[in-house]
Amino acid sequence: MASGILVVCEHEDGAPKKTAYELLSKARSLAAELGGDVSAVVIGSANAANLGEYGASVVYTADGSEFSSDGTGSWASALAAAIVEADPAVVLGAASVDIRSAFPRLAVRIGAGMASDCTDLFIQDGVLIARRPMYAGKAFADVSISSSVALYSVRPNSFPGAAPVGGSATVSPLSVSHSEAELASKIVGVEAPKSETIDLTEANLIVSGGRPVDSSENFDRLIRPLAEALGATVGASRAAVDAGYAPHNEQVGQTGKVVNPSLYIAAAISGAIQHLAGMRTSRVIVAINKNPEAPIFQHATYGIVGDIFEICPLLTEEAKRQGIGR
Ligand SMILES: Cc1cc2nc3c(=O)[nH]c(=O)nc-3n(C[C@H](O)[C@H](O)[C@H](O)COP(=O)(O)OP(=O)(O)OC[C@H]3O[C@@H](n4cnc5c(N)ncnc54)[C@H](O)[C@@H]3O)c2cc1C
């Protein structure tokens, strides 16, 4: 009978991403209650052995040129092969671009139930429950899945990544074959964003600017220095992006990126439903707005009624003085 938890560990430049450690850590605590082992699967060329120190007893690897040159069509086969080997009851992956594409294909292929973009996983009466936002974050649904293997994609930063627990993993290469259809999409080039900071979707600290920032020069003068002083990633509202003050890859919201940081600073952002859809699960929201009636204050943990042209430089100065971003 299927048991245990298989974690899909994504990596960047050969090293596991932060989400891999977050999910392994959560998998360990869930497995302690549900029973079974924690194992990991790594697709593409990466240093997988250290995942044993974070609780994986076996690391399944699928390495081959198709995993770097193709779209995620090849991932479903690799994950299906890992599931045959590990026979898990639960498969966890981050709600990343690649897993959002791969999990639905995998779910259809193996007849598994799936919950996407979860923000919490917990056990109630011995059953694993996934909490996921609905209706642009206005409501949360608690779902349980009854298929013998269940897939869950989890928003980055939903769980803390624990320190290593020691231990070592057996590395087990998978034998994966693909159909022609799976290899139909090819990656023809990758253009990395210019920013050196962590990608918005995985960032733990975000400073976002809205339409009243008023120019890209002001973004560089107000928003980016505050983000840098805090060690944060820069975000923007769609109004700011549409006006050309910030690039589209920095847009947060329904038609931008969904973020889940510990701290989200919304500087001159009104709090439109489409913006909230992308950031409302942030743990702490600080809103800076001239209008005390602005809707964002209904969602803010802390509110500063004031002008960003005065408040942002003060916060930047104070963050620098305290050496916060270092
Ligand atoms: C289909 C669709 C999809 C959309 N997707 C997105 C999306 O993904 N992301 C997104 O953000 N929006 C999205 N929008 C747009 C959204 O509805 C809002 O128009 C947008 O979020 C407003 O951006 P804003 O808050 O920066 O600007 P505004 O609505 O102009 O708000 C500016 C705020 O700043 C305050 N303010 C003014 N001057 C200052 C100052 N000097 N100091 C401090 N505060 C000041 C004002 O009181 C106001 O609250 C979408 C809309 C549609 C229809």
How far, in Å, is the centroid of ligand 1 from the Cα of 239? 5
Residue 194 has pLDDT above 80, yes or no: no
* pLDDT attached to residue 182: 80
Confidence category of residue 140, pLDDT binned at 50, 70, 90? very high
Residue 233 CB less than 6 A away from ligand 1: no
Instruction: Give yes or no for a contact between 257 and 231, defined as CB atoms under 8 angstroms apart.
Output: no
> Quick one: average pLDDT of 286-306?
98
Q: Given the CA of residue 295, which atom of ligand 1 is nearest to it?
A: 49
**What is d(CA 190, CA 193) in angstroms, rounded to the nearest whole number?**
10
- Name 150's bridge partners: 90, 113
> Averaged over 73-99, what is the pLDDT?
94
Would you state the pLDDT for residue 49? 80
Of the chain, the percentage scoring pLDDT greater than 70 comes to 99
What are the structure tokens assigned to 233, written together? Answer: 């990633």
For residue range 64-75, list pLDDT tens digits in order: 877 776 667 789
> What 3-state class would DSSP assign to 134?
strand
Q: For residue 218, how far is its CA from the centre of ligand 1 (angstroms)? A: 16
Predicted local confidence at residue 70, as pLDDT = 65
The predicted pLDDT at position 180 comes to 82
Judge if 5-183 and 200-322 fold alike in CATH terms: yes
Tens digits of residue pLDDT in 14-53: 899 999 999 999 999 999 999 999 999 999 888 888 899 9
Using pLDDT thresholds of 50, 70 and 90, give the confidence band for residue 316. Answer: very high
Name the CATH superfamily, with its identifier, for domain 5-183: HUPs (3.40.50.620)
CA 158 / ligand 1 centre spacing (Å): 26
Confidence of residue 187 (pLDDT cuts 50, 70, 90): confident
For the chain, what percent of residues have pLDDT higher than 90? 79
Taking the C-alpha atoms of residue 135 and residue 280, their distance in angstroms, rounded to an integer, is: 12
- What's the CA gap between 323 and 281, in Å, rounded? 27
What is the average per-residue pLDDT within 148-161? 95
State the Cα–Cα distance between residues 109 and 293, nearest whole angstrom.
50
DSSP 3-state of 79: helix
CATH class of 200-322: alpha beta
Distance 272 CA to ligand 1 centre (A): 6
Across all residues in the chain, what is the average pLDDT?
A: 93
Both tokens assigned to 22: 């977050």
Spans of all domains in the chain: 5-183, 200-322
Question: 127-134 and 139-143 as β-strands: parallel, antiparallel, unpaired?
Answer: antiparallel
Higher pLDDT, 299 or 177: 299
